[in-house]
């Protein structure tokens, strides 16, 4: 799974032009130490140097397209505000890797989300998504998007349940067709799941 109206919320990357601030983000304020829930699960942002860990989690989850280690390294470096790691009593259990497209900062696009097999069934994937949306840096998010293959029933169920929990509409559209992929890298079609509107849970 690759990687959801106007907002004054900070967006990445941090840049300034003249006297106008564009997407100023205080990355250093993001908690990179998990606070455990009563069941021992904690969610935190990745440290800047934890790309290798995300790659290992993606590999061990067993149900993801495994990207190059460099992709995970650069994601931790450049999109820390929109990524998260789940831990169970300090043991890495899963992650979500996402970004906010520069042209559509109200969208949080979920590139990959995974939970290791031994930690499934505890609602960790949903908690990963909620944790990102609860961050001050992402208060402007009004839509969550992800692409899901027809065979990935687990992700389809996750995003369907997530939309229902947020009282949001789930719209499934055409994302990429099988013919969009290179011939030497044949791939299932990717349907685009669009969840909106996203509002804070009171």
CATH number of the domain within which 62 lies? 3.40.630.30
Q: Is 190 exposed, middle or buried (0-12, 13-18, 19+ CB in 10 A)?
A: buried
Cα gap 140→8, rounded to integer Å: 7
Pairing assessment for the beta strands 91-99 and 41-44 based on DSSP bridges: unpaired
Pairing assessment for the beta strands 107-115 and 83-88 based on DSSP bridges: unpaired
Q: Would you say residue 2 lies in a domain?
A: no
Q: Is 84 exposed, middle or buried (0-12, 13-18, 19+ CB in 10 A)?
A: buried
DSSP of 129-197: HHHHHTSGGGTT--EEEEEE-TT-HHHHHHHHHHHHHTT-EEEEEEEE-GGGS-GGG----EEEEEEE-
For residue 147, give the nearest of 81, 67, 65, 71 by alpha carbon.
Answer: 65
Instruction: Kindly calculate the radius of gyration of the chain based on its CA atoms and give it in whole angstroms.
Output: 16
Helix, strand or coil, per DSSP, at residue 80:
helix
What pLDDT is attached to residue 71? 96
What pLDDT is attached to residue 185? 80
Structural domain range at position 90: 15-196
List of the chain residues with pLDDT < 70? 1-34, 36, 200-202
Q: Would you say residue 128 lies in a domain?
A: yes
Q: What is the mean pLDDT of the chain?
A: 84
C-alpha 150, offset from chain centre: 19
Q: Would you say residue 4 lies in a domain?
A: no
Cα gap 161→177, rounded to integer Å: 25
Q: Would you say residue 68 lies in a domain?
A: yes
Q: Based on the structure, what is the number of domains in the chain?
A: 1
Q: Would you say residue 6 lies in a domain?
A: no
What pLDDT is attached to residue 95? 98
pLDDT > 70: percent of the chain: 80
What pLDDT is attached to residue 40? 86
Q: Would you say residue 21 lies in a domain?
A: yes
Q: Would you say residue 144 lies in a domain?
A: yes
Task: Report how far apart, in Å, the C-alpha atoms of 88 and of each of 17, 67, 122, 127 are.
Answer: 42, 25, 10, 12
Q: Would you say residue 202 lies in a domain?
A: no
What pLDDT is attached to residue 142? 97
What pLDDT is attached to residue 29? 57
């Amino acid at each position: 799974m690759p990687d959801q109206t106007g907002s004054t919320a900070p967006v990445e990357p941090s840049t300034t032009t003249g006297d106008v601030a564009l997407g100023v983000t205080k990355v250093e304020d993001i908690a990179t130490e998990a606070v455990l829930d009563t069941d021992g699960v904690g969610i935190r942002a990745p440290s800047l140097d934890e790309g290798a860990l995300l790659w290992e989690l993606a590999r061990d989850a067993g149900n993801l397209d495994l990207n190059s280690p460099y992709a995970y390294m650069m994601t931790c470096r450049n999109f820390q505000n929109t990524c998260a790691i789940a831990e169970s009593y300090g043991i890495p259990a899963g992650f979500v890797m996402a970004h906010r497209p520069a042209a559509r900062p109200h969208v949080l696009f979920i590139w990959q989300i995974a939970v290791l097999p031994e930690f499934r069934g505890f609602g960790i994937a949903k908690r990963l998504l909620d944790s990102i949306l609860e961050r001050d840096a992402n208060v402007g998010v009004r839509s969550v998007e992800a692409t899901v293959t027809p065979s990935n029933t687990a992700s389809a169920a996750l995003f369907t349940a997530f939309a229902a929990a947020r009282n949001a509409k789930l719209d499934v559209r055409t994302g990429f067709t099988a013919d969009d992929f290179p011939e030497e890298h044949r791939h299932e079609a990717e349907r685009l799941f669009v969840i909106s509107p996203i509002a804070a849970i009171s």
